Structure 1
Amino acid sequence: MYFAALLARTEDGWEASDTELDDVETLSDLADLAREAAPDEDTVLVLIEQEDGWFGVVRVDGEDDPRIYVSDAAAAARSSYGEILLTDELLGREPGNDGPDLDALDLDGTEDGGPGDEADEDVAADTGSADSVLHGPVGDALVLDDLGVSEKDLRSLSGDALGTIAEVLGAAEVLETVR
C-alpha cells in the first residue's frame, strides 16, 4: 500500500494535499508537481511511503534542484514510485550505467515487494535488481535538518515515519486530513 502527499509551507503554516503519482515518470515531473503546489516558491515536501517497506522525502525549494532521501534503496528499487527517486546521481552511478533495466520489471505501483510475494521475488531474482542497489538509506539525510528532523532522527525512523516527520514539522493534523 502506497501513500503520497505534498506538504507546502506557507505563511500560515503547512498545507497538505494527497497526490496521485500515476502520471509522474521522472524526478523532474515530481519536482514540477511540487512547485505547482508552492505559492511564492516556498518549501514543498513530497512524502512517499510504502507501508512497512520504505519511505522517501523529496524537498523542493523554489527552482533549486530537489533534495532526496530514501530510507531503503533496495526496497524502493522494487517500486515504481521508488524508481522515480533513485536517480543515478543519488545512487552514485554514472548516467547510463544503472545495471539491470528496472523498466523491465513492469512496475505498476501495485506491487508490495514484501515477503511471500513470489512473483515479484522471481522477477527481482532474474534481473538482480535487488542486489544492484544498496540496502539501506541513500540521499541527503540533512534534507529536513533545518526543519527540526536531524540526520540521526531521520535515519532512525521506522513504522509511521511520515507521521513522525509531520509531527515534528507541526503538520501532523494537516497530513492526517489527506491520509
Structure 2
Amino acid sequence: MYFAALLARTEDGWEASDTELDDVETLSDLTDLAREASVDEDTVLVFIEQEDAWFGILRVDGEEDPRIYVSDAAAAARSSYGEILIDELLGRDEDDPADDLDALDLDGTEDGEPDDEYEGTDTDTDTDTDTDTPATAAETVPTGAVGDREILSDLGLSEADLLALESDAMAEIAEALGAAEVLETVR
C-alpha cells in the first residue's frame, strides 16, 4: 500500500495535500502533478512511501529539472511508482525495450523471443555464459539509497539525516521541514 503526499512551499509555510497516483504512469506525469500544486513556482515535494519498505522524494523547483531521492532502490524497483523514479535515476529509457526489465524472462530474453537463433532446434552447444545477455533486475538496480542525497539539505534535513531515516521517514522529514502538522492533516 502506498501513501503519497504533496508539500508545496508558500509564503506562509507549507501546504500539504494527499494525492492519487492512479493517473501517474511516467516521471513527466508526476512532475506535472507537482507543478500544478506549486504556488508561484516555489518548491514542491512529492513523497511516496510504500509500507516502510522504501520512500521516494521528487522535488520540483519551478521549471527546473526535478530532483529525486529513493531510500532503497532495489525495493522501489519492484514497485510501479518506484520504478518510475528508479528509471530516471539509472538513466533507463521507458520506451526502450532493452531497458524494460519487466519484459525480460529469467534467462534474459525478451518475452516471446526464441532462445536459439533457429526456433525449434537446439544447435547451440556452447555452454559458456553469454556476456551479451541483458542483466536481470537484481543486477542492474543497486541496493540502498540512490539519487540526490542533498535534496532537502537547504530545507533543514542534511544528507546524513536523510540517509539515517528508516521507518516513518515521511513524518521525520516533515518535522525537519516544519511541516509535520500540515502533513498529519492529510495522512
TM over 0.5: yes
The CA deviation at 1:132 is 2.6
Summarize deviations over 1:84-126 as a string: whole Å, max 9, x none: 11124x1256884865523679xxxxxxxxxxxxxxxxxxxxx
- Native 8 Å contact 2:47 2:56 kept in 1: yes
Match of 2:136 in 1: 128
Summarize deviations over 1:20-41 as a string: whole Å, max 9, x none: 1110111111111000001110
Change (3 A) 1:171 1:78: same
Indicate which of 151, 155, 164 corresponds to 1:156: 164
Match of 1:74 in 2: 74
Q: Aligned to 1:74, what secondary structure does the other structure show?
A: helix
Measure, in 1, the Cα distance between the counterparts of 2:30 and 2:174.
20
Match of 1:91 in 2: 90
Unaligned runs of 5+ in 1: 106-126
Summarize deviations over 1:119-170 as a string: whole Å, max 9, x none: xxxxxxxx93234310111000000000011011101101110100000001
Measure, in 2, the Cα distance between the counterparts of 1:166 and 1:103.
37
Measure, in 2, the Cα distance between the counterparts of 1:145 and 1:75.
24
The structure in which a higher percent of residues are helix is: 1
Kindly provide the amino acid, as one letter, of the partner of residue 150 in structure 1: S
Match of 1:34 in 2: 34
Measure, in 1, the Cα distance between the counterparts of 2:103 and 2:24.
14
Give the length in aligned residue pairs: 157
Indicate which of 161, 177, 181 corresponds to 1:169: 177
Measure, in 2, the Cα distance between the counterparts of 1:79 and 1:103.
15
Query: Normalising by the residue count of structure 2, what TM-score does the alignment of the two structures yield?
Result: 0.78
Measure, in 2, the Cα distance between the counterparts of 1:80 and 1:45.
19
Change (3 A) 1:41 1:104: farther
Measure, in 1, the Cα distance between the counterparts of 2:9 and 2:93.
34
Q: In percent, how many aligned pairs have the same letter?
A: 71
Q: Aligned to 1:40, what secondary structure does the other structure show?
A: coil
Q: Aligned to 1:31, what secondary structure does the other structure show?
A: helix
- Native 8 Å contact 1:2 1:48 kept in 2: yes
Q: Aligned to 1:33, what secondary structure does the other structure show?
A: helix
CA RMSD after TM alignment: 2.1
Summarize deviations over 1:50-109 as a string: whole Å, max 9, x none: 112000010000000000000000000000110111124x1256884865523679xxxx
Unaligned runs of 5+ in 2: 106-134
Query: Normalising by the residue count of structure 1, what TM-score does the alignment of the two structures yield?
Result: 0.81
- Native 8 Å contact 1:58 1:66 kept in 2: yes
Measure, in 2, the Cα distance between the counterparts of 1:45 and 1:80.
19
